[in-house]
Structure 1
Amino acid sequence: MALRAVIFDFDGLILDTETPAYTSWQETYRGHGAALDRELWTANIGTHGWDAARHLEELLGRPIDHAELRAARLTRHYALIDAEVVRPGVVGWLNEAKELGLAVGLASSSGEQWVGPHLERLGLREHFAVLATGDRVQRVKPDPALYRLALDSLGVDPGDAIAVEDSANGIAAAKAAGLPAVAVPNAMTVELDFSRADLVLDSLTDAGIAEVAARLGL
């Protein structure tokens, strides 16, 4: 097997932080008499730039207190995330990577102060040799910078690694960096276009690393 490394996304792949994020913003919008469009939200999963608070302000046609709104929304967001557990198959993939002697990295548009504590809480931090996070690059996904950083840090060529993603922006970033990419959609991203992915799995429990590598010709 030519495969030398597996690089995981975080939000929505390892831990479903995306459903809680959408739910908390959806509740916030409803509290102001507005509606959060699901398609608009999902189109921006995996990247930064779109501002939900500013969009709400535009819908209302009046200014809002962004700091107060974000503080209340985050409290709800964190409460919902605390009820989440590691997504199915993740631990199995991490254990198989160790058994196969593969390097394991993470490429996330989120910052290390978000990713790191969650990995520690879940007992997964020790599995990752590299955390390529959004605070370490100038541009996040769909730009390939995060994957290039992860590859450089692991000392692995793009063709010798697999990217595992849950969002279309993540798949675009991995492909732009030259990696074969596996999509594992979640409840929030299942309707997105994953035609650029080399393989789409309903869950990481559907196939292990060795099987996926064989299916991708690695």
Structure 2
Amino acid sequence: MSTERVRPLSELPEAVIFDMDGLMLDSERASVRCWSRAAAEVGLRIEDAYWLRMVGHSTAACQQVLRERMDDARIAELMDRCNVLYDAEVEAGLPLRPGIVELLQWLQAQGIPRGVATSTRRPRAPHKLETAGLLPYFHSVTAGNDVAHPKPAPDIYLLAAQRIGVAPARCLALEDSPAGVRAALDAGMTVIQVPDLVAPDAAQRALGHRIVGSLLDVRALLAARVASTA
């Protein structure tokens, strides 16, 4: 998606807060693959589209989705097996999303602070970033179990802004999922969505935030803002 079709940024953010899975790490495909494999191993036949409903949500929210199809004992069995498969994918190395390193290096050169707000819990969240080689780029990592209310509640973005020392209204949030977009908007941040597996529907687009094709487009929008004030 060309940045020409997206309205320019009205100001340069004082900090940028990143989601992790599906935005920086190409992990949502691995997640769907692990859910599907785990289900087959415990004797369940469930279509791949069902697992897309987990994208961007907390463990508790995923459990609610699973309760539509199975009881708590089967959920525990499925999640335990999925976690084993997913941890193996993490250790093998999750691919990076296009443009993430270029964007982080550009922000670092500009002296713009960077934080993470991810539904993934500790200790997995920082470990995934470390394994991917991205952890050194960030001033703080706010994980799903750092707050009482997960996305789409704004809590995790409010805490991420507090930890980085910048008012939410002065932060840019980068997200891929509908739940994350809602959380960041309700926190009062400027939001740019970079969709991955779940395309924004009409209701999502009606929220009025910017939607671009890749993190390279995000860098272009930020660079254009810098150039306009030079």
Give the TM-score band, short-chain normalised.
Answer: 0.7 to 0.9
Counterpart for residue 160 of structure 2: 150
Q: Distance in 1 between matches of 2:154 and 2:80?
A: 31
Partners of 1:171 and 1:197 within 8 A in 2: no
Q: How many residues align?
A: 210
> Which digits, 9 at most, give the CA deviation of each residue in 1:190-217, with x for residues without a partner?
3555412521111112341524757xx9
- Counterpart of 1:105 (choices 105, 109, 115) is 115
Q: Secondary structure at the match of 1:7?
A: strand
- Counterpart of 1:45 (choices 41, 46, 55) is 55
> Which digits, 9 at most, give the CA deviation of each residue in 1:114-167, with x for residues without a partner?
111111112211111111111111001000000100111112122221100010
Q: Distance in 2 between matches of 1:105 and 1:197?
A: 23
TM-score normalised according to structure 1 size:
0.84
Q: Unpaired runs of 5+ in structure 1? A: none
Q: Distance in 2 between matches of 1:183 and 1:197?
A: 11
Residues 167 and 19 of structure 1: CA distance in aligned 2, closer, same or farther (over 3 Å)? same
Counterpart for residue 105 of structure 2: 95
Equivalent positions of 1:109-188 (< 5 A) are: 109-186=119-196, 188=197
Residues 212 and 84 of structure 1: CA distance in aligned 2, closer, same or farther (over 3 Å)? farther
TM-score normalised according to structure 2 size:
0.80
Partners of 2:39 and 2:78 within 8 A in 1: no
CA RMSD in angstroms comes to 2.6
Percent identity reads 28
Q: How many angstroms does 1:80 deviate by?
A: 3.6
- Counterpart of 2:209 (choices 174, 185, 198) is 198
Residues 64 and 212 of structure 1: CA distance in aligned 2, closer, same or farther (over 3 Å)? farther
Q: Unpaired runs of 5+ in structure 2? A: 1-10
Q: How many angstroms does 1:34 deviate by?
A: 2.2
- Counterpart of 1:36 (choices 30, 43, 47) is 47
Q: Secondary structure at the match of 2:216?
A: coil
Counterpart for residue 79 of structure 1: 88
Judging by fraction of residues, say which structure has more helix: 2
Partners of 1:111 and 1:134 within 8 A in 2: yes
Q: Distance in 2 between matches of 1:176 and 1:53?
A: 27
Q: Distance in 2 between matches of 1:166 and 1:33?
A: 29
